[in-house]
Structure 1
């Protein structure tokens, strides 16, 4: 991945995000600030509607802040770019008619930045990093869920992004499969130490996946706290440390909002114009 002169890879500074519905101008987040360092497993946690997915899309360059700035590796984010790659839910963005190798090659071919020989070489190297070389000529329907995730990550990493953006990637899975996929992700991170910005609404998932956790308030999303999660895993599920952290997060998520903030999330379009 691209080297940075600073450990502070992603800087979100007082970012306010809004979007329109047919009747309202909705403030998704309000003056949110955080910093993601190189090699972080940084989790954004919050209830539904708090703006966490909107914030992730803004880091990806798909939504422009109405206030504040987002900087990645020293460059202000103004549009999508290969330095920030999205890994989507269930990894069904893999094209079923293409092999693993062809799927990993595709984004590089689409950019037009690489010679054909270089595209293949980079794809093979990325596939090898996620331990799927034996499956490079296999089609997605022949792969397990964990293997599909590895292909999706290999496809993103072939472009050498600064950060992987993951928006509730395991939300639609059953509990056992979800746990297996989390463990697959952590095993891959332990091997490659890439930077991941991960969105979830699950307290347990945030603790297991994250090294640091940003907690957002109910709508509109404001920073409640940033916590160090350490390296707690499912092996620690019944430990006092896991229980104490889960309890603290629960309290932060569901404590009463600050006075004067309950009506700031939406206002009539006519009033906003």
Structure 2
């Protein structure tokens, strides 16, 4: 039995408030730093109120870029990151849900063997197989292209495993009813499994979108043309200055801008995301 005591409620709220402050304070400092002059944070004192340079800093980053830090305009780079994240998220989900559907509902030789071969690839992330993957991409002429940025990252053993586990919980009576009604495999998949998988798809989309948005190492390897740079690469370039100190107002402004699309995706899909993670009964 859960005790209903006022001091326990107050303590729980205090812990939550402290947790929010601990998480949000660095974001607030980054926001404040982006509105200040570049030398104000070098004095050792951190201002806690906004400065007068917010519009100028963000406008320069989005239109002309930070020439002092060697970074092109952030607008096209944010678009590249958005395209990359969307292709990776939708591609991983499409491939994984079809793979899980085939493994669960079709009977063919070595079905479980192929599933475990897919599952074993969890031990081989891009960082482990980066040299052969890069060679294949280079030989196919996919450097400096959206295909090179996304295709090597499309397969997902984790998503395949999660969809497989969910499909195993779907009652067999639904499959039998679909057969009685004359529905073929793809109609059963489209009309029954896809609607039932809506919350799982939403939860995976949020996770995979953030995964694709935050990619740094692979885009760094396959892009030499500034037209295919991503926002994460821009932040790294601005923070690494060979001579002199970084322009922290530009760095912090880029960090704030890079947080906006993932936060927007989470806000829009919050209900489905939480439901997909905690729902146990379908």
TM-score by length of 2: 0.21
Point out the structure with max Rg over C-alpha: 2
TM-score by length of 1: 0.21
